[in-house]
Amino acid sequence: MTITLGADDYGKAENRVVRIHRDTARHEIRDVTVSTALRGDFTAAHLAGDQSRVLPTDTQKNTVYAYAKKHGLREIEDYALTLARHFVADVEPVDGARVEVEEYSWERVDDHSWVRRQSEVRTTVVEVGEVEKVTSGLKDLVLLKSTGSEFAGFLRDEYTTLQETHDRIMSTSLVATWTYAGTDVDWDKTWTDVRAILVERFASVHSLALQQTLWEMGRAVLEAHPEITEIALSAPNKHHFVVDLSPFGLENPNEVFHAADRPYGLIRATVVRS
Protein backbone atom coordinates (compact mmCIF):
# COMPACT_ATOMS: atom_id res chain seq x y z
CA MET A 1 0.00 0.00 0.00
CA THR A 2 1.27 3.46 -0.95
CA ILE A 3 0.26 6.64 0.88
CA THR A 4 0.42 9.86 -1.14
CA LEU A 5 -0.68 13.47 -0.75
CA GLY A 6 -3.99 14.20 -2.41
CA ALA A 7 -5.52 17.50 -3.46
CA ASP A 8 -4.55 20.46 -1.32
CA ASP A 9 -4.82 24.23 -1.22
CA TYR A 10 -4.33 26.96 1.36
CA GLY A 11 -5.36 30.57 1.85
CA LYS A 12 -6.73 33.32 4.06
CA ALA A 13 -10.38 33.02 5.02
CA GLU A 14 -12.95 35.69 5.82
CA ASN A 15 -11.01 38.92 5.40
CA ARG A 16 -13.43 41.73 6.28
CA VAL A 17 -13.08 44.68 3.92
CA VAL A 18 -15.04 47.94 3.81
CA ARG A 19 -14.15 50.14 0.83
CA ILE A 20 -15.37 53.75 0.63
CA HIS A 21 -15.09 55.35 -2.81
CA ARG A 22 -14.61 59.10 -2.39
CA ASP A 23 -14.30 60.08 -6.06
CA THR A 24 -17.15 62.56 -5.69
CA ALA A 25 -19.05 64.26 -2.85
CA ARG A 26 -21.49 61.34 -3.04
CA HIS A 27 -19.53 58.48 -1.50
CA GLU A 28 -20.02 54.80 -2.37
CA ILE A 29 -19.65 51.87 0.02
CA ARG A 30 -18.73 48.24 -0.57
CA ASP A 31 -18.82 45.96 2.47
CA VAL A 32 -17.44 42.47 1.82
CA THR A 33 -15.85 39.35 3.25
CA VAL A 34 -13.10 37.89 1.05
CA SER A 35 -11.56 34.40 1.21
CA THR A 36 -8.62 33.27 -0.91
CA ALA A 37 -7.22 29.81 -1.64
CA LEU A 38 -4.16 28.95 -3.74
CA ARG A 39 -3.29 25.71 -5.55
CA GLY A 40 0.03 24.51 -6.88
CA ASP A 41 2.87 22.13 -6.10
CA PHE A 42 3.18 22.53 -2.36
CA THR A 43 4.21 18.94 -1.70
CA ALA A 44 7.42 19.90 0.08
CA ALA A 45 5.52 22.01 2.59
CA HIS A 46 3.33 19.05 3.52
CA LEU A 47 5.93 16.29 3.47
CA ALA A 48 8.99 18.15 4.81
CA GLY A 49 7.72 21.41 6.26
CA ASP A 50 9.59 23.31 3.53
CA GLN A 51 7.91 26.72 3.17
CA SER A 52 10.13 28.06 0.38
CA ARG A 53 7.32 27.88 -2.19
CA VAL A 54 4.56 29.01 0.16
CA LEU A 55 3.29 32.58 -0.06
CA PRO A 56 2.13 33.32 3.50
CA THR A 57 -1.58 33.60 4.11
CA ASP A 58 -0.79 36.92 5.79
CA THR A 59 0.51 38.14 2.42
CA GLN A 60 -2.73 37.03 0.79
CA LYS A 61 -4.62 39.08 3.41
CA ASN A 62 -2.47 42.13 2.66
CA THR A 63 -3.08 41.70 -1.06
CA VAL A 64 -6.84 41.63 -0.50
CA TYR A 65 -6.70 45.07 1.13
CA ALA A 66 -4.10 46.51 -1.25
CA TYR A 67 -6.12 45.49 -4.31
CA ALA A 68 -9.26 47.06 -2.81
CA LYS A 69 -7.36 50.36 -2.90
CA LYS A 70 -5.21 49.88 -6.01
CA HIS A 71 -7.94 48.50 -8.30
CA GLY A 72 -11.06 49.62 -6.46
CA LEU A 73 -13.87 47.42 -5.24
CA ARG A 74 -17.12 47.92 -7.07
CA GLU A 75 -18.54 44.84 -8.81
CA ILE A 76 -17.38 41.95 -6.66
CA GLU A 77 -16.92 39.64 -9.66
CA ASP A 78 -14.41 42.03 -11.26
CA TYR A 79 -12.57 42.45 -7.98
CA ALA A 80 -12.35 38.67 -7.44
CA LEU A 81 -11.16 38.07 -11.00
CA THR A 82 -8.43 40.71 -10.68
CA LEU A 83 -7.25 39.24 -7.39
CA ALA A 84 -7.26 35.62 -8.59
CA ARG A 85 -5.50 36.49 -11.85
CA HIS A 86 -2.76 38.25 -9.88
CA PHE A 87 -2.04 35.22 -7.72
CA VAL A 88 -1.84 32.89 -10.74
CA ALA A 89 0.15 35.22 -13.00
CA ASP A 90 2.52 36.81 -10.48
CA VAL A 91 3.20 34.15 -7.82
CA GLU A 92 5.41 31.51 -9.48
CA PRO A 93 4.37 28.33 -7.60
CA VAL A 94 0.65 29.10 -7.94
CA ASP A 95 -1.24 27.52 -10.85
CA GLY A 96 -4.76 27.99 -9.55
CA ALA A 97 -6.64 30.43 -7.32
CA ARG A 98 -10.10 30.56 -5.81
CA VAL A 99 -11.54 33.81 -4.48
CA GLU A 100 -14.87 33.92 -2.67
CA VAL A 101 -16.59 37.20 -1.87
CA GLU A 102 -19.72 37.89 0.13
CA GLU A 103 -21.22 41.39 -0.05
CA TYR A 104 -23.53 43.01 2.49
CA SER A 105 -26.10 45.60 1.44
CA TRP A 106 -26.45 49.14 2.76
CA GLU A 107 -29.35 51.49 2.06
CA ARG A 108 -28.34 55.09 1.38
CA VAL A 109 -29.48 57.87 3.75
CA ASP A 110 -27.56 60.76 2.18
CA ASP A 111 -24.30 61.34 0.33
CA HIS A 112 -22.19 59.76 3.06
CA SER A 113 -24.53 57.82 5.39
CA TRP A 114 -26.18 54.41 5.12
CA VAL A 115 -28.43 52.00 7.01
CA ARG A 116 -27.59 48.29 6.97
CA ARG A 117 -30.29 46.47 4.98
CA GLN A 118 -31.79 43.01 5.30
CA SER A 119 -29.76 39.90 6.01
CA GLU A 120 -29.57 38.99 2.31
CA VAL A 121 -26.01 38.52 1.03
CA ARG A 122 -24.66 38.75 -2.50
CA THR A 123 -21.98 36.16 -3.34
CA THR A 124 -19.42 35.26 -5.95
CA VAL A 125 -16.87 32.46 -6.34
CA VAL A 126 -14.13 32.94 -8.94
CA GLU A 127 -11.81 30.14 -10.07
CA VAL A 128 -8.72 31.01 -12.14
CA GLY A 129 -6.39 28.32 -13.46
CA GLU A 130 -6.38 26.49 -16.77
CA VAL A 131 -9.81 28.07 -17.28
CA GLU A 132 -11.70 30.93 -15.63
CA LYS A 133 -15.05 30.28 -13.97
CA VAL A 134 -17.34 32.82 -12.32
CA THR A 135 -20.29 31.81 -10.17
CA SER A 136 -22.48 34.55 -8.74
CA GLY A 137 -25.33 34.20 -6.31
CA LEU A 138 -27.19 35.22 -3.20
CA LYS A 139 -28.07 33.70 0.15
CA ASP A 140 -30.41 34.43 3.05
CA LEU A 141 -33.08 35.86 0.73
CA VAL A 142 -36.13 35.31 2.96
CA LEU A 143 -39.37 34.91 1.00
CA LEU A 144 -42.94 34.23 2.12
CA LYS A 145 -46.31 33.93 0.41
CA SER A 146 -49.48 33.62 2.50
CA THR A 147 -51.45 31.63 -0.08
CA GLY A 148 -51.00 30.05 -3.51
CA SER A 149 -49.20 27.00 -2.15
CA GLU A 150 -50.35 23.41 -1.69
CA PHE A 151 -48.92 20.09 -0.56
CA ALA A 152 -51.07 17.06 -1.26
CA GLY A 153 -51.01 13.66 -2.96
CA PHE A 154 -47.68 12.73 -1.40
CA LEU A 155 -46.42 9.21 -0.73
CA ARG A 156 -47.50 7.73 2.60
CA ASP A 157 -46.25 4.88 4.77
CA GLU A 158 -46.96 3.68 8.32
CA TYR A 159 -45.02 6.63 9.81
CA THR A 160 -46.79 9.40 7.88
CA THR A 161 -48.93 11.73 9.99
CA LEU A 162 -48.77 14.91 7.89
CA GLN A 163 -52.16 16.12 6.64
CA GLU A 164 -52.69 17.34 3.10
CA THR A 165 -53.25 21.04 2.54
CA HIS A 166 -54.43 23.08 -0.43
CA ASP A 167 -53.79 26.49 1.13
CA ARG A 168 -50.68 27.09 3.19
CA ILE A 169 -47.95 29.61 3.90
CA MET A 170 -44.82 28.90 1.88
CA SER A 171 -41.62 30.48 3.11
CA THR A 172 -37.91 29.92 2.60
CA SER A 173 -34.48 31.44 3.05
CA LEU A 174 -33.20 31.02 -0.50
CA VAL A 175 -29.65 30.25 -1.55
CA ALA A 176 -29.03 30.56 -5.29
CA THR A 177 -25.82 30.32 -7.32
CA TRP A 178 -25.49 30.64 -11.08
CA THR A 179 -22.52 30.00 -13.34
CA TYR A 180 -21.59 32.12 -16.35
CA ALA A 181 -20.35 30.89 -19.71
CA GLY A 182 -17.68 33.64 -19.80
CA THR A 183 -16.46 36.82 -18.11
CA ASP A 184 -17.77 39.50 -20.48
CA VAL A 185 -20.80 40.22 -18.32
CA ASP A 186 -22.49 43.28 -16.83
CA TRP A 187 -22.29 41.78 -13.35
CA ASP A 188 -24.44 44.23 -11.38
CA LYS A 189 -27.19 44.42 -13.99
CA THR A 190 -27.36 40.65 -14.40
CA TRP A 191 -27.35 39.97 -10.65
CA THR A 192 -30.16 42.47 -10.10
CA ASP A 193 -32.25 40.97 -12.89
CA VAL A 194 -31.72 37.36 -11.75
CA ARG A 195 -32.80 38.30 -8.23
CA ALA A 196 -35.92 40.00 -9.60
CA ILE A 197 -36.81 36.91 -11.65
CA LEU A 198 -36.41 34.61 -8.66
CA VAL A 199 -38.64 36.80 -6.49
CA GLU A 200 -41.29 37.20 -9.20
CA ARG A 201 -41.49 33.47 -9.91
CA PHE A 202 -41.72 32.63 -6.21
CA ALA A 203 -44.61 35.04 -5.85
CA SER A 204 -46.56 34.30 -9.03
CA VAL A 205 -46.29 30.51 -9.49
CA HIS A 206 -49.17 28.61 -7.89
CA SER A 207 -47.06 26.04 -6.09
CA LEU A 208 -48.07 22.41 -5.80
CA ALA A 209 -44.66 21.70 -4.24
CA LEU A 210 -41.56 23.71 -3.38
CA GLN A 211 -39.71 21.54 -5.91
CA GLN A 212 -41.99 22.83 -8.66
CA THR A 213 -41.37 26.43 -7.59
CA LEU A 214 -37.59 25.97 -7.72
CA TRP A 215 -37.85 24.49 -11.21
CA GLU A 216 -39.92 27.44 -12.44
CA MET A 217 -37.51 29.93 -10.86
CA GLY A 218 -34.45 28.29 -12.39
CA ARG A 219 -36.02 27.82 -15.81
CA ALA A 220 -37.07 31.48 -15.96
CA VAL A 221 -33.52 32.64 -15.18
CA LEU A 222 -31.97 30.49 -17.93
CA GLU A 223 -34.61 31.58 -20.46
CA ALA A 224 -33.88 35.25 -19.75
CA HIS A 225 -30.08 35.01 -19.57
CA PRO A 226 -28.26 32.99 -22.24
CA GLU A 227 -24.93 33.95 -20.62
CA ILE A 228 -25.81 31.72 -17.64
CA THR A 229 -25.18 27.98 -18.07
CA GLU A 230 -26.76 26.66 -14.87
CA ILE A 231 -28.38 27.74 -11.63
CA ALA A 232 -28.42 25.84 -8.33
CA LEU A 233 -31.13 26.54 -5.77
CA SER A 234 -31.34 25.52 -2.12
CA ALA A 235 -34.53 26.24 -0.20
CA PRO A 236 -35.16 25.29 3.43
CA ASN A 237 -38.88 25.06 4.03
CA LYS A 238 -39.62 27.54 6.83
CA HIS A 239 -42.68 25.80 8.26
CA HIS A 240 -45.68 27.76 9.53
CA PHE A 241 -48.23 25.65 11.42
CA VAL A 242 -51.82 26.77 11.98
CA VAL A 243 -52.43 27.15 15.73
CA ASP A 244 -55.42 25.31 17.14
CA LEU A 245 -57.47 28.03 18.87
CA SER A 246 -60.58 25.90 19.39
CA PRO A 247 -59.88 25.43 23.15
CA PHE A 248 -60.46 29.17 23.46
CA GLY A 249 -63.66 29.16 21.42
CA LEU A 250 -61.93 30.78 18.44
CA GLU A 251 -61.82 29.81 14.79
CA ASN A 252 -58.52 30.10 12.95
CA PRO A 253 -59.00 30.16 9.16
CA ASN A 254 -55.28 30.29 8.32
CA GLU A 255 -54.67 33.55 10.19
CA VAL A 256 -52.56 32.68 13.26
CA PHE A 257 -49.47 30.48 12.85
CA HIS A 258 -46.60 29.07 14.84
CA ALA A 259 -43.37 29.72 12.94
CA ALA A 260 -41.06 26.75 13.55
CA ASP A 261 -37.35 27.09 12.83
CA ARG A 262 -36.42 23.39 13.03
CA PRO A 263 -36.52 20.69 11.94
CA TYR A 264 -37.17 21.83 8.39
CA GLY A 265 -37.48 20.36 4.94
CA LEU A 266 -34.56 21.16 2.64
CA ILE A 267 -35.21 21.18 -1.11
CA ARG A 268 -32.33 21.53 -3.59
CA ALA A 269 -32.27 21.52 -7.37
CA THR A 270 -29.95 22.48 -10.22
CA VAL A 271 -31.38 23.66 -13.54
CA VAL A 272 -28.95 23.36 -16.46
CA ARG A 273 -28.79 24.40 -20.08
CA SER A 274 -28.33 21.38 -22.37
Active site residues: 12, 57, 239
247 Cβ contact list (under 8 Å, min separation 6):
none
DSSP assignment string, 18-59 = EEEE-SSSS-EEEEEEEEEEEEE--HHHHHH---TT---HHH
- CA–CA gap between residue 60 and residue 79 (Å, rounded): 14
Beta-strand runs (E) in 129-198: 132-145, 170-180
Classified as helix, coil or strand, 232 is strand
Residues flagged as binding site for urate: 57-58, 151, 168, 211, 237
Classified as helix, coil or strand, 118 is strand
Q: Chain centroid to CA 126: how far?
A: 13
Residues flagged as binding site: 57-58, 151, 168, 211, 237
- CA–CA gap between residue 53 and residue 41 (Å, rounded): 8
Residue 193's φ and ψ, nearest 5 degrees, are -70, -40
- CA–CA gap between residue 197 and residue 80 (Å, rounded): 25
Residues flagged as binding site for 5-hydroxyisourate: 57, 151, 168, 211, 237
Residues flagged as binding site for O2: 57, 237
- CA separation (Å) from 143 to 188, 196, 216, 236? 22, 12, 15, 11
Angle at 266 between CA 31 and CA 136, to 5 degrees: 35
- CA–CA gap between residue 136 and residue 178 (Å, rounded): 5
Amino acid symbol at 117:
R
